[in-house]
Amino acid sequence: MVHTSECFLYVYDSYSIILMISFLLINLRSDKPLVHKITNKSEKELYCIDAEVLKSPPVTSPLPLIAEHHTMIKERDRCRVYKLSLEPGQTVTVSYPFFYLSIVLKGSKIKTTIGGTLPHSITYENSTVLGNEAWCTPTLDVTITNVGSNTFEQFIAEWR
């Protein structure tokens, strides 16, 4: 097996974040393990999240996500990476019609509502911190509100 990797490096005031997404390509002649070497040459803390795309999920989106507060930062054949940014008090309602990896870059207290209006909805709050990650399934009309006092930023890596 041969692996190729894409690195997405984001540098903030006091730390750097690397999101490394490995794409699996088949080569039956290779039996060597996958090894990533990363050297932090700065004085800042370095956070690295390594995720591997082994196969396409059962549901994918042919079109890129276009939604408020979301910015596409990278697009490849097997993955698209977006950044969601919400200032305190900001809200966005969005559908994610794909499987994705969520990684928090800047944490805050987040209120999430799924399912539209009461009484047919579910609402919960979650305090997030740098590095929180989750594998997420497709969802429709989710409302995300930053109810905390800090800017909230999150990578959304769409598997394709």
pLDDT at 1: 40
Range with the poorest average pLDDT among 2-6, 17-21, 121-125: 2-6
pLDDT at 28: 41
Q: How far apart are CA 46 and CA 153, in angstroms?
A: 17
Q: How many residues are there in the chain?
A: 160
Question: What global pTM score does this model have?
Answer: 0.80
Q: Which two tokens stand for residue 4?
A: 């190729």
pLDDT at residue 139 tops 70: yes
Q: How far apart are CA 19 and CA 100, in angstroms?
A: 14
Instruction: Tell which CATH classification among 1.10.1500.10, 2.60.40.10, 2.60.120.10, 1.20.1260.10 matches the domain 2-159.
Output: 2.60.120.10
Asked if 110 and 126 touch (Cβ cutoff 8 Å), the reply is yes
pLDDT at residue 131 tops 80: yes
Which residues, including other chains, have CB under 8 Å from residue 118's CB and lie 6 or more apart?
none
Asked if 2 and 22 touch (Cβ cutoff 8 Å), the reply is no
pLDDT at 93: 95
Q: How far apart are CA 50 and CA 116, in angstroms?
A: 34
User: pLDDT tens across 76-95, in order?
Assistant: 888 898 999 999 999 999 99
pLDDT at residue 126 tops 90: yes
Greater confidence (20 vs 29) lies with 20
pLDDT at residue 157 tops 80: yes
pLDDT at 120: 81
Which residues, including other chains, have CB under 8 Å from residue 51's CB and lie 6 or more apart?
19, 20, 21, 22, 101, 157
Mean pLDDT (the chain) is 81
Quickly state the pLDDT bin for 108 (edges 50, 70, 90). Answer: very high
pLDDT at residue 26 tops 50: no
pLDDT at residue 13 tops 60: no
pLDDT at 65: 97
Asked if 85 and 153 touch (Cβ cutoff 8 Å), the reply is yes
Delimit the domains of the chain by residue range. Answer: 2-159
Going by their DSSP bridges, the two strands 133-136 and 100-106 should be labelled as antiparallel
